[in-house]
Amino acid sequence: MAGHSHWAGIKHKKALVDNKRGKLWSRLSKAIIIAAKLGGGDPDANIRLRKAIDDAKAVSMPKDNIERAIKRGTGELEGGDVEEIIYEGYGPGGVAVMCDIMTDNRNRTAPEIRGLFSKHNGNLGATGCVAYLFDRKGLFVMSEGTDEEHAMVIAMEHGGDNIETNEDGKLQISCPPEAFAALADALQQAGLEFEFGEVTRIAQTEVELDPDTARGALKLLEMLDEHDDVQNVSTNLKLSPELLAELND
């Protein structure tokens, strides 16, 4: 789980760049469309939609954009033909890679993702080829200075199943996916801030590669994460401090 927090941090930094390029709002719009399509347009009754809207507001996405995305999802406006797909495969050195996709054109997205895998010495695999290597979890990385005892009490009372300190020295809480929304609300109501929170995949075990192969795997992960239709990338690659330092330079 700790390795995932590093990749989450990397993605967070990249998201700031994506926002400047106009990509992030597109991704968030798709997330809102899917959430409204599956659970209706009322965020009070649709936990997934509420989370998608909160994420959009956090990066200053205009209210009109949010409302249009909701209406596309509910069918009030055209353009809501977005579907969710999971692509799985192997990167350099055999590391497992999973991509959560939201696309309005599967026939365009599939060859593009396959091409990225091939270009970076990976292979797009069949459904289920690496999914068994990951656990689906809600994950929170708490802000620096969080009261650990207070956070532990809140987590235990609202579905948290693991609390630990990650390599960055920050408190990390995990929970079953179905407990994510309730735990997020409880943490916020208790005045406990988190810098990262989402339902994601956590590798059961991590794979360590030699530096050159690991750099190739990281390049694949970066390219996938930059694709407009990719919402999330999960991997079991172990990220050493040396590789992280190189990536953050």
Query: Domain with 178 in it: what CATH number?
Result: 3.30.70.980
- Report the alpha-carbon distance of residue 159 to residue 184 in Å, rounded: 10
The string of pLDDT tens digits covering residues 239-249 is 777 766 665 55
Q: Three-state DSSP class for 184?
A: helix
Asked if residue 126 is part of any domain, the answer here is: no
- Report the alpha-carbon distance of residue 176 to residue 121 in Å, rounded: 34
The string of pLDDT tens digits covering residues 10-68 is 565 555 556 554 678 888 999 999 999 999 999 988 988 988 998 899 888 999 999 99
Asked if residue 97 is part of any domain, the answer here is: yes
Residue type, 134: F
Query: Is 157:180 a contact under the CB 8 Å cutoff?
Result: no
- Report the alpha-carbon distance of residue 6 to residue 20 in Å, rounded: 22
Task: Indicate if 116 and 233 belong to the same structural domain.
Answer: yes
pTM of the model: 0.82
Collect the ranges in the chain with pLDDT lower than 70: 1-22, 243-249
Give the domain range for residue 173: 133-203
Q: What is the DSSP letter of 143?
A: P
> Residue 135's pLDDT is what?
92
Task: Indicate if 199 and 212 belong to the same structural domain.
Answer: no
Mean pLDDT, the chain, rounded, equals: 87
Task: Indicate if 169 and 194 belong to the same structural domain.
Answer: yes
Asked if residue 128 is part of any domain, the answer here is: no
Taken in order 24, 49, 174, 145, the sign of the CA dihedral is positive
> Residue 67's pLDDT is what?
96
> Residue 23's pLDDT is what?
78
Task: Indicate if 144 and 189 belong to the same structural domain.
Answer: yes
Q: How many domains are there within the chain?
A: 3
> Residue 249's pLDDT is what?
57
- Report the alpha-carbon distance of residue 229 to residue 226 in Å, rounded: 9
